[in-house]
Structure 1
């Protein structure tokens, strides 16, 4: 594969000189702020955290990073082992928002169910390197603009919608990520070249390919085809037929010159939805439990999920206020996962207190898991807030709560593809719109609801009546039969073949 300086024709397609110039200029300025490129990282594997307890995943850390090897529970140094490429794979991600991390967990779950050993490589975890510092800087800006888009309508309509769709659409975006990813190559330089690497973010895919790794799979989460996600030299997987067609033909990705070369059929695979094995394997059981709660007239359980940027606090306050009487009458229960957003929780708390809405706080991970388990057999009422400092717990609480919930209220992000009835609230970026389109078309979610009056109307129907609820459940059962939710399992099989 060509080195970054020689890479000027993504997939053999020409882009304009002006696009090439500005792309290189943007990357050059970015790298100036990142600082000196890190030396090659010498990585080893340790059995650390909940991801090891749940899925036997070993976390990759620097050999000389004593602090990273400390077990937070015991305070003792963990024993490490070398990376062994035999019957194993590396799951590469970045802890930027919740989506890329959630997809990585889905892969870990699938690999564990298939008896495949997995290593977790999180570019954000190498705290004392320019790799993590650069990603953190970009994440802070993304989160700021995401929150601003929810507060300022003009900014959202005229700036953020374009940034999250048109800016990432053209092939120059793929080139830009390629050039930028050269900065992340040090994380891969001492990794065995023959171990499969599954990338939950294009920076991982590009960096692995640039390092000469020959078994790289790039997972594309977006249903809207964007060149941003393409990492030439890897195999790409998508979640839906429309995404397959769009990426296969590089639709609308030309930059001045027409597309001459499409992706080859062996370079892209329709895998299905990236869903954890535990959720996939228990679809029938969970749907049956939902229908039984419906027949017993138990409170409808709504799971509200805060995104990684923390942009939905005011929408959650509006939903809670509208559902106040339903909650008091035991017709609705709200399960609000705030993730690790302490600041956003304070905003929501002010509104709940002002509106006289009581709540129960869950912030101890062990007790949270015990409570969620109890929901399988007990009637749950009121409003429950979930807030955890640990990043894994902040993300995975949603996965656990999904099995015990009736509806999930979420923006149409990576959660669009999960097997639970979904009410889609306003997107945070235009690229997310197609997640809601996918969910509504296959019947396991609503259309995107963008205004409070429509949201309230939909909530009223979902709480007081059963027809939409039953339709969503029947659609999920049908989708499961045709293996719609098998994507994570398929990705692991593709990586290992």
Structure 2
């Protein structure tokens, strides 16, 4: 079945289909066609999360070394920013808590295969565009915002991706066809379907319906009711016609994809936040730098804004720059006044883990910076820090859905706007603060009063009772559903 010609019974124009074929041909010319190549797989403990979440990382090897059983589940993903890795960790965490054994399957990591080469090129382009959009407002307005909100929304974009992901199937040869498989990016989902896997779940990350995220042949999961309706109707994915909708059995509203260790500790974590907020203790702010390393100017403004409160012992700041040590050095250069209060936690995930445990149970002051070259540690450090933080400062990306009070800063791409809308409506985050002045005003309001944190924590607990944060568990259940 050619999934680029018809998408949910909607025929793609000849012009768009020819473009899809041409795009595939371009990648074949550049990186070759290895769909007939035999790649074997083996598994090793994943860095940082291997022990705590039971995750095994799949790597290419000379001989088949993976021994899957009825408890095995594949987490298909790619490194493109941090978001898809973070959602993958949530799925893996839920699977582990449910008694399953998660296997990490990152198509980007297979450097010698066509899939790894194609994705590496796309990741570099996307990261570059993200950074550029934050430096040049005209580029952001005329190119980046429209591309992320409307360009990726088109059904024809999905047609092009479907054709390209036909080149990514070779690495799937060692996987059993009926193995439960959850993909946290559409390319690993499309490739899995092309490779003949039968229990594929496509965990859609964004709250803004886009044709980009469709993977016909998989079960699509979404995090919000509004996203469910938008995807079900294929809303706005073709401006010239009303599209036929997705069949109801192909899409499921699951709730937010959140790690088990965060969901299971919501009440206690919120209790501690409320205690700090209402008893005049130092408020703990967590600032997470995204995978593209964008928004440096906003981070500088936030640090400068919080510095007086940090000096007075009224605020504590955690900064996780992920694996962007260059960004960290730029921040220190831009705000040298923070050096007397600075503690660096670099490239020692064990020490980071111990720090978070100590901070959870005790007092902490100053500015604490975290940076890890290892991508697993870089991403998961934010998850650890969330539990001992009062407010997370983040753009409205995948973190917009997490059960921690959030201050939403300016988005990077139009598709992220609806993440902030969701958080504001649930009540576990602010609306999107689009300017430095608006961000500073929100910091003031939260810093000088405990009621906002207390209210957000109340909304988080209410949302938990409603199952809002159970999306990861449900995605895993769907992957195992119907398996004989």
TM-score by length of 2: 0.96
Distance 1:431 1:419 in 2: 21
Counterpart check, 1:440 vs 2:438: no
Match of 1:8 in 2: 5
Q: CA deviation at 1:354?
A: 5.9
Give the superposed CA RMSD.
1.6
> Which deviates the most, 130-139 or 112-121?
130-139
Consecutive unaligned residues of structure 2, counting only runs of 5 or more, are none
Contact 1:410 1:422 in 2 (8 A): yes
Contact 2:33 2:167 in 1 (8 A): no
Contact 1:85 1:194 in 2 (8 A): no
Match of 1:176 in 2: 160
Distance 1:92 1:395 in 2: 17
Match of 2:39 in 1: 41
Deviation string for 1:32-80 (max 9, x for gaps)? 3333436232112233432221111222122228xxxxxxxxxxxxxx8
Say which SS state the counterpart of residue 50 (structure 1) adopts: coil
Say which SS state the counterpart of residue 206 (structure 1) adopts: helix
Deviation string for 1:435-486 (max 9, x for gaps)? 0000001100000001111111111000001222221111001001101000
Say which SS state the counterpart of residue 376 (structure 1) adopts: helix
Deviation string for 1:68-97 (max 9, x for gaps)? xxxxxxxxxxxx843324122111001221
Which of residues 230, 243, 248 in structure 2 aligns to 1:265?
Answer: 248
Distance 2:352 2:47 in 1: 16
Contact 2:273 2:454 in 1 (8 A): no
Match of 1:73 in 2: none
Matches within 5 A, 1:60-79: 60-64=58-62
In structure 2, do the counterparts of structure 1 residues 248 and 432 end up closer, same or farther at CA, with 3 Å as the change threshold? same
Q: CA deviation at 1:9?
A: 1.2
In structure 2, do the counterparts of structure 1 residues 357 and 409 end up closer, same or farther at CA, with 3 Å as the change threshold? farther
Match of 2:314 in 1: 331
Contact 1:298 1:379 in 2 (8 A): no
> Which deviates the most, 341-350 or 354-363?
354-363
Distance 1:424 1:262 in 2: 33
In structure 2, do the counterparts of structure 1 residues 224 and 357 end up closer, same or farther at CA, with 3 Å as the change threshold? farther
Q: CA deviation at 1:211?
A: 1.1
Which of residues 88, 95, 107 in structure 1 aligns to 2:72?
Answer: 88
Matches within 5 A, 1:194-213: 194-213=178-197
Say which SS state the counterpart of residue 164 (structure 1) adopts: helix
Distance 2:291 2:340 in 1: 25
In structure 2, do the counterparts of structure 1 residues 356 and 195 end up closer, same or farther at CA, with 3 Å as the change threshold? closer
Match of 1:23 in 2: 20
Counterpart check, 1:52 vs 2:57: no
Which of residues 344, 352, 359 in structure 1 aligns to 2:342?
Answer: 359
Which of residues 266, 269, 272 in structure 2 aligns to 1:286?
Answer: 269
Distance 1:352 1:30 in 2: 44
Counterpart check, 1:153 vs 2:137: yes
Aligned length: 479
Match of 1:69 in 2: none
Match of 1:135 in 2: 119
Contact 1:305 1:409 in 2 (8 A): yes
Match of 2:404 in 1: 420
Say which SS state the counterpart of residue 279 (structure 1) adopts: helix
Consecutive unaligned residues of structure 1, counting only runs of 5 or more, are 66-79
TM-score by length of 1: 0.93
Distance 2:65 2:179 in 1: 16
Which of residues 384, 387, 395 in structure 2 aligns to 1:411?
Answer: 395
Counterpart check, 1:218 vs 2:202: yes
In structure 2, do the counterparts of structure 1 residues 256 and 50 end up closer, same or farther at CA, with 3 Å as the change threshold? same
Distance 1:330 1:485 in 2: 33
Distance 2:353 2:159 in 1: 43
Contact 1:3 1:210 in 2 (8 A): no
Counterpart check, 1:473 vs 2:460: no
Contact 1:15 1:254 in 2 (8 A): no
Contact 1:85 1:192 in 2 (8 A): no
